[in-house]
Structure formats: structure tokens, C-alpha cells
Structure 1
Amino acid sequence: MEQDPTLLLLMYFVVPVWLMAGFADWLCHRATNIETTAGAKESIIHLLLFAEVAGPFLAVLLLEVNALVIAFMIVMFFVHEATTLWDLSYAVRLRKITPIEQHVHSYLELMPLTAVLMISARHWPQFLALFGLGDEAPRFDIAFKANPLPLAYIIGAIVAALLFAVLPYMEELLRGLRSNHGRFVPLAARSSAQ
């Protein structure tokens, strides 16, 4: 495997910090009884936020990074930011968002931005080409990496994402539905959430 420090930082710092922040956020939600305050609706938004980051994560993990992948990452970053605003504007009316949770949110926003910046730096000619600059033509093909990341890392990263993001947020969703007899918004919160 290539010993590019940017790649190593992405693999062994950005991805783990992002997953730890996601898990810490789930713990914050449990502490504020999300199931009885904002309910399953907020959990659906959390799963959407994860999906918005998971797509670019899988693309970079498996595909050759070119102008298409970089554009996808940039677009999904802004979609993720818009969804984050929706999530917080909904949640803040229904439950306490502690300073710790707010701090965790900063990591959940900065790690995707950090990834976009570092990947753009690693693939600078294609980043420039995306904007009609530089000497390379932008490439928009979809192809698996010619020099893939180690299989153990790929499997480990996907398993870690399932264990620290997908499963906890699925549990949060089920807990919210169970607590509210299948309703996405607790009855007590319906007037506040409208």
C-alpha cells in the first residue's frame, strides 16, 4: 500500500474520528431520551445523514477518484449540511441538545469536509479539471481502483460503519417507533413539531 501521509490520515484518522463521533452522537441521543422527545422522525433524519456520507465514503473506498467522484463528494457534502440544518431545526424544539452533543456535531460536520479537502488534494489535477482548470481533462467514468486499498481495511471500515453507525441508529429508530406505538413523532411533540 502507498505510504502517502494524506491517505494514511484519511484511513486511520478521519474515518475513525467520524465513526467515533457518530457513535458519541447516538449516546447523546440516548441520554436525552430521543424516543420520547423528537421520536423516530429524528432517527430517520439521522439515517439519512449517514446515507449522505456513506455514498461518498464507499465511492472513495472502492472507486478510482476522478472528477466524477470529487463532484459527488462535494454535492453530498452540501446535501449533508442542508440535512443537518433540517435535523437541528427539528430537534432543538423538542429536546435538549447539550454542549457535548453540539461539540460532537462539529466533528460530524468537519470530518466529511476534511475528507473532501484531503481527497481533492490527493487528486489535485482531477479537482482542477472539474472546474475547467489545469492540464488534465475531467474524467467521469466509474471504475474500481486499479490499486485497491487492502481488503482487510475495506472490510474493517465497512464493518466498523455498520457497528458504530448503522446498527446504533437503527436501534434508535426502532426504540422511537416502539415507544410511540409506531408513530414517527411522539404525541406530546406533535404540536411543537408542526
Structure 2
Amino acid sequence: MSVGGWAFAGYLAWLAAGFVDFTQHRRTDLPHTSGLRESVMHGVQLGLLGLVVLSWLLFAPGLGLRLLLGVLVLLHAVAGYIDTLSAFGRRTITPLEQHVHSVMDMAPWIALGVVVLVQGGAAREAGWPLQLDPALPRLWLAALLPALLLCVAPWLHEFGAVLRARGA
């Protein structure tokens, strides 16, 4: 399997971990326990990683892209910590959910490392400015459709359940 094939398999595993996480939130009644604050933090984390994926799809390899991706991954880690604080003491986090969190916490850093390794010298040659170089439509579909089905749709369901639980 090529590097791209392995990277895509890793991406799908990461998304699958996100899906499992949402099933655990449902099992532990997130809407009635940690509620709105935790669900909002899930949306923030999804948004940050969505920006990572969109940036990778939109921009040419370069040092500027690496910096942007690094900042977004770092912000995701900070948001993940705040997310954990939101749930701590309010909702039971099962061993399975803890394990899934370890995958979701490390996957963005691993993905960033893969981008750096794959870009190699091309990033140095391209320099700092972000340059538009959109990926092929099939890459957009392969990246966004699984994310929408496995993570965005479950988060929207969770967020809706939280709002219903609050009587909004």
C-alpha cells in the first residue's frame, strides 16, 4: 500500500474513533450531564480539524501550510483539554471512551507528522506564503464525505439532543 493509502486508512480510523466517541456520549447521557458546554467544545474541535482538512485540500505544500496546520492542531489540543474539564465530574467517561480519546488526541499530531514527511523538500522550496492549489475533486469527496457521516452528523445529533434537553 502506498503512503497515501496508509494515510487515508489512518484518517478513516481517526474518524471511526470520533464516531465511537459520540456513541459513548450517548450512552452516558451527555445532554443531561455535561450538556451544552461539552457539546460546544466538541463542535469547536470539529471546526478546528475541519479547518486542518480544508487547508490541506486548498493550499500547496509549503512552510506556511505547515505552520497553519501546526497552529490548528495545537489549538485542537487546547480545546480537547477544555473539553475534558467540561465533562470531568459531571459525566462518567468509560475506559473505552478514554481509549478512544487517546486515539483522537494523538491522530492530529501524527497526521501533521505525515504531512511534514510527505511534503519533504517541496515545502522548503515553496516557502512561507500560502498558495492556493486545490486538490482534485475526488480527494475532496474522499476527505469530506466520511467526516460528514462519521463525525459532523453525530455531533449535530448530539448538539440537537442537548438543546432539546435544555428546553430550547
Scaled by the length of structure 2, what TM-score is found?
0.92
Residue matched to 1:34: 30
Q: How far apart, CA to CA, are the structure 1 residues paired with 2:106 and 2:10? A: 9
Which of 1 and 2 has greater Rg? Answer: 1
Q: How far apart, CA to CA, are the structure 2 residues paired with 1:58 and 1:10? A: 16
Q: How far apart, CA to CA, are the structure 2 residues paired with 1:33 and 1:137? A: 48
Letter in 2 for 1:9: W
Residue matched to 1:9: 6
Structure 2: gaps of 5 or more residues: none
Q: How far apart, CA to CA, are the structure 1 residues paired with 2:88 and 2:138? A: 40
Matches within 5 A, 1:23-172: 23-125=19-121, 129=124, 136=125, 138-145=127-134, 148-149=135-136, 151-172=137-158
Task: Count residues with an aligned counterpart.
Answer: 168
* Percent identity of paired positions between Structure 1 and Structure 2: 27
Structure 1: gaps of 5 or more residues: 130-135, 183-194
Q: How far apart, CA to CA, are the structure 2 residues paired with 1:157 and 1:125? A: 24
Q: 1:7 Cα shift? A: 2.1
Letter in 2 for 1:25: D
Scaled by the length of structure 1, what TM-score is found?
0.80
Q: How far apart, CA to CA, are the structure 2 residues paired with 1:117 and 1:107? A: 15
- Structure with greater proportional helix content: 2
Cα-Cα RMSD: 1.7
